[in-house]
Amino acid sequence: MNKKRYILLWLLVCLLILASAVAVAQSTQNAALAPPVVVSPADKAAIETFQKQVKTYIELRNKVKENAPKLSKESTPEQIHAYRTALQTSLRNARTNAKRGEFFRPETADFIRRTLKTEFQGKDRQELRDKIFETETQGVVLRLNYPYAQTAELSEMPATLLAKLPQLPKELRYRFVGRNMLLVDRESDLIIDIMPEALP
């Protein structure tokens, strides 16, 4: 009788261990996937406004690009350098009245900040923050219409985050410098807009 009880007790203990292991595994898995961002009608409107601004920029950029030397896919370093310099100058001249927050308007910035907060929350997302903060961005001047320093590293934009942010055309890129988020022209590397303290 005692032996039977002993076996039953052991079975119970084993079951308890197994159940708690499964529960821990499940919670870890769930924690790894950041919850989806809730997009309200107000957010949708903010994203639409942002995308309209982006479209206007691309139209201006295309016009400006006509004055830059053409760049083929078989270019020499000298041609690349000449193209980048010409594009930078033309874009700067075309946007002398550029203002901070022109793209990251308060409503858009609010949506992006919430998205970032959701994506970066949780202990398991510490790796994400580490990757951004370890990026060597010395030399980057956070100033509109200034180029992102060529000597500085580019922070990798987490693929999981890019899936949640408003999509950008190939001419523009999101980029982090510390806690700040930038909107950068991909080819000229000019800083188009800055959202300070974007990261939680």
Partner 1 sequence: MRRTHSHHFLFALLATAILFTPAYAQKLNGNSTAAAKAADSSPLKLTLPNKEGSLRFAVIGDTGSGTDKQRDVGEMMIKYHALFPFEFVLMMGDNMYGGEAPQDFQKKFTEPYRALLNQKVKFYATLGNHDQALQVNYKDFNMDGKEYYRFKQGNVAFYSLNSNYMDKKQVKWLEDELGRETAEWKVMFFHHPPYSSAKKHGSDGQLREVVEPIFLKYGVDVVLTGHDHVYERIKPQKGIYYFVSGAGGKLRTGDIDRETGLTEKSYDRDLHFMLFEVAGDQMYFQAISRTGETIDSGVIPRK
Which one of 16-24, 53-61, 91-99, 131-139 is the stretch in contact with partner 1 (CB under 8 A)?
131-139
Residue 93, both tokens: 């001249």
Q: Which stretch binds partner 1 (CB under 8 A): 46-54, 79-87, 88-96, 97-105?
A: 79-87
Binding-site residue total for partner 1 (CB under 8 A)?
Answer: 39
Write the CA distances from 168 to 143, 154, 185, integer angstroms: 21, 17, 11
Give the shortest CB-193-to-partner 1 separation in angstroms. 17
Which residue of 100, 154, 179, 180 would you call a contact of partner 1, by CB under 8 A?
Answer: 154
Alpha-carbon distance 171 to 72, whole Å?
A: 16
Least distance from C-beta 134 to partner 1, angstroms?
A: 8
Distance CA 48, CA 160 (A): 21
Helix (H) or strand (E) holding 173: strand 172-177
Helix (H) or strand (E) holding 15: helix 2-32
- Of 38, 77, 99, 106, the residue at the interface with partner 1 (CB under 8 A) is 77
Per-residue contact flags (x/-) with partner 1 for residues 54 to 73, judged by CB under 8 A:
-----------------xxx
Q: Closest separation between CB of residue 24 and partner 1, Å?
A: 19
Which of 5, 74, 106, 123 binds partner 1 (CB under 8 A)? It is 74
Q: What DSSP assignment string belongs to 102-115?
A: SSS-HHHHHHHHHH
Site for partner 1 in 91-130 (CB under 8 A): 127-128
Burial string for 145-162 (b: 16+ CB within 10 Å, else e) reads bebbeeeeebbeebeebe
Token readout for 104 is 């990251």
Q: Cβ 12 to partner 1, closest distance in Å? A: 33
Tokens of 73: 């896919």
Of the pair 57, 83, the CB lying nearest partner 1 is at: 83
Q: For binding to partner 1 (CB under 8 A), which residues are involved?
A: 32, 71-81, 83-84, 127-128, 131, 134-135, 150-151, 153-163, 167-168, 170, 173, 186-187, 189
